[in-house]
Homo-oligomer: A and B are copies of this chain.
Amino acid sequence: MPETVRLLDENGVRIPSPQWDPLIDDLDEAALADLYEDMVVLRRIDAEATALQRQGEIALWPPVYGQEAAQIASGRALRRDDFVFGSYRETGVAYTRGIDPVEIARVWRGAAASAWNPYEFHMATAQVIIGAQTLHATGYALGIQNDGSDQVAVTYFGDGAMSEGDVSEAMIFAATYGAPVVFFCQNNQFAISEPVTLQSKTPLADRPVGFGIPSVQVDGNDVLAVTAVMRQALQRAREGGGPTYIEAVTYRMGPHTTADDPTRYRDPAELELWGKRDPISRLRTLLETSGLDGPELEARAAAAADRVAAAFRAGVQNMPDPEPMSVFDNVYAEPHHELDRQKNEYARYLEGFAS
C-alpha cells in the first residue's frame, strides 16, 4: 500500500511533492477559486435539497456533504467526452458535467425514473443497485478501446460497494482487457450504518493491486491531491495504460439520506474530528495564504450559490407531475402489441372516471 497522497493539509497548508506537483502546476489562483466556488455551490445544493425534502417537495435526498472535494476535483479533471458511471450520490460530479440539480431532484421527487440525457452530459444517470455501474463503465471502456479513442470511462462508487461481487468482477475484466477505466471509490467511511471496517479490515486500496490494477489512496478532502491523482489516472488510461483505482478517503458528514438517523450508529467525536478536515475551509485557507481576499471570495461564492439555489428551488417547486399514461412509455424501443393492449385497457379504465 502506497501512502495517502496529500498536497494540502488539514490546516490548509500546502505540502510540496515533486511527484505530484507537476500534475497540478496549471492550477493557478483563479482555477482554485473556481474549485472553491464549485464546492460552496455544491454544499448549498445539498442544504437546499435537504430543506426541500423537509418541506415535502422531494421524497429523499442523499447528501454529498463532506465529499465535495472528492467529487468536484475529480469531476473537473475529466475531459468533456470522458464518460461517467456513478451511483446515486454524485451530485457534485454531475454538477461539474453541467447537469442541472433540478434534474437530479426530479428523480428524488418521484417524478422520473432518471434525470438527464446521458449522451448530452457524458454521464450515465444515477445507479441505485450498489456497484452495478462499475461493470457498465468497464464495458463502455471496452467500446472506447475498440473504437481506438482516447476517451476514458470513469466509475464512481462507495466503500460499501467494494464488497459486491460486481465490483470485483469489473476490476477483473478491466485488468484482463487493459480497459481505459478509472475506478473512483469514495470511502466516506460508511455504508448506511456500517463502518468501512465491516467491509474490510485492511485498506480497500489494497484490493485493486491484487487484481493487477494500479491503486492510489488519496486524501479525499484535498482538491489538489484529488486533481493530481485523477489526472494521472486519466492520462494513463488515455495512453493505453489501462485501468487505475483511486480511493478518496473522506467522510459522509450528513446522514446516508434524509431518511437516515446517523446518531444511532455514529460516534460524535469522529464526526467532530472530520469536521476539522473540511475540504472547503482548507482550500479557503490556502487561497487566503496565497493572497486572495477571503471575505470577497466567500461573498462571490455565496452569490453563486444563492443563484443556483434559487433556480434549484424554483425548478423543483414548479416541477409538473408526469402524465399518468407515461408509465407505459419506453418500456420497449420497438412496438409491443401486448403492452399496447394493456395501455389501451388502462386508458379506457381511466376514461371511465372522466365520464
Contacts and interface: CB of A to CB of B under 8 A. Distances in A.
Interface stretch (A61-69, A84-92, A158-166, A328-336): A158-166
Interface stretch (A144-152, A206-214, A294-302): A206-214
Interface string A183-212: 000000000000000111110001111111
B175 A198 contact: no
A168 interface: yes
Contacts of A166: 165
A288 interface: no
Nearest to A168: B168
Interface of A is mostly: helix
A32 interface: no
A304 interface: no
A172 B202 CA distance: 10
Interface residues on A, range: 20 to 34
Residue from A166, A201, A209 with most neighbouring chain B CB atoms (10 Å): A201
Nearest to A213: B202
Interface in A42-100: none
A169 B172 CA distance: 13
A176 B201 contact: yes
Interface string A310-352: 0000000000000000000000000000000000000000000
B164 A176 contact: no
A199 B175 CA distance: 9
13 contacts: A162-B172, A163-B169, A165-B168, A168-B169, A172-B200, A176-B198, A176-B201, A201-B212, A202-B211, A206-B211, A206-B212, A210-B210, A210-B211
Given A164-B165, A176-B198, A200-B211, 9 more contacts: A162-B172, A165-B166, A172-B199, A176-B199, A176-B201, A202-B212, A206-B211, A206-B212, A210-B211
